Amino acid sequence: MNASPPAKPLHMNISTTHIAGNGHLGRYILLPGSDGRAQEMAKKLQNVQVVEHPRRHNFYQGQFESKGRTIDVGIMSSGMGCPSMDIIGTELLQLGAKRIIRVGTAGSLQPKRLRVGHIVIPTASVRDEGTSRHYLNASIPVLSSIEFLDIARRVSVELGLAAKVELGIIHTKDSLYAREFGQGLLQSQHHDYMEHLKKAGVLASEMECAQLFTLLQTWQSDSLMRGRGPGVKGGAILAIVGDDEPFATDPQNVSDTVDSTIDFAFACIAAWAHGEDKEWI
């Protein structure tokens, strides 16, 4: 028996009024992986209001100014892994979110050129996880929104970061310790698989993007078929925090990389908002 979705979200204490903003586009939603990082990102907003939840999926809503425009933003932790992204992403979409950007971290699979301090903008994700397969056949690729990719590329040039920002395919996994670090009894299989990804040119590895892209893709398709307004779009911005070593040994370098990624995310939102003037009412 297929049950209907709940009338209100079960894992956050917000409603459609919290998502509303920017005309009928709604707030631009940023999804870091932790509430601590969400708190740090919220420091860039004005008039911040916090709606707390016992699971720490707290919602930070506010605005920031760009070229005379007030842009409405919401920030919430997605938690770790695709199952958590599935829950948080779905509930936000059910509340009316239409613009979602994951702001997170990843480990480089191409350490000769992608080092700690670089930023990766995923164009698509290798679906090496199970959650997205409950939505789409395994043979179907999942992609970032082309609109977001164009904005991210343009912003990287405008900010003089083109040498530090790379667009390309990433890898989303279910297990950090088994798949990437070879824990368990399948160590040789995991090693061979990760080497295959590297040789295929996959840029980096993380744990949430495949499901975010799956949700964006399926909701956008439904929106287009039903003629429901501007549709659902989004993408991801990933700070590289590991290269030759899985985790960088210089915490200041990692902190600076994460900070620059957050700044880049807000610059992308500003560029996106100004480009969507025609969508605002």
Quick: pLDDT tens for 214-230: 999 999 987 766 666 66
Which token pair is 27?
């707030």
- C-beta of residue 63 within 8 angstroms of C-beta of residue 72: yes
| Rounded-to-integer distance, Cα 60 and Cα 72, Å | 11
What pTM was estimated for this model as a whole?
Answer: 0.94
CA distance 100 to 216: 8
* CB contact at 8 A, 82 and 136: no
Angle between helices 251-275 and 35-42 (to 10 degrees): 60
In contact, 144 and 234? CB cutoff 8 Å: yes
pLDDT one-digit tens code per residue, 258-272: 999 999 999 999 999
Which CATH number is associated with domain 16-279? 3.40.50.1580
Instruction: For residue 281, name the pLDDT band (cuts at 50, 70, 90).
Output: very low
Q: Are strands 233-242 and 165-173 parallel, antiparallel or unpaired?
A: unpaired
pLDDT digits (tens, 9 = 90+) for 108-122: 999 999 999 999 999
Cβ burial 219-238 (10 Å sphere, 16+ → b, else e): bbeebeeeeeebbbbbbbbb
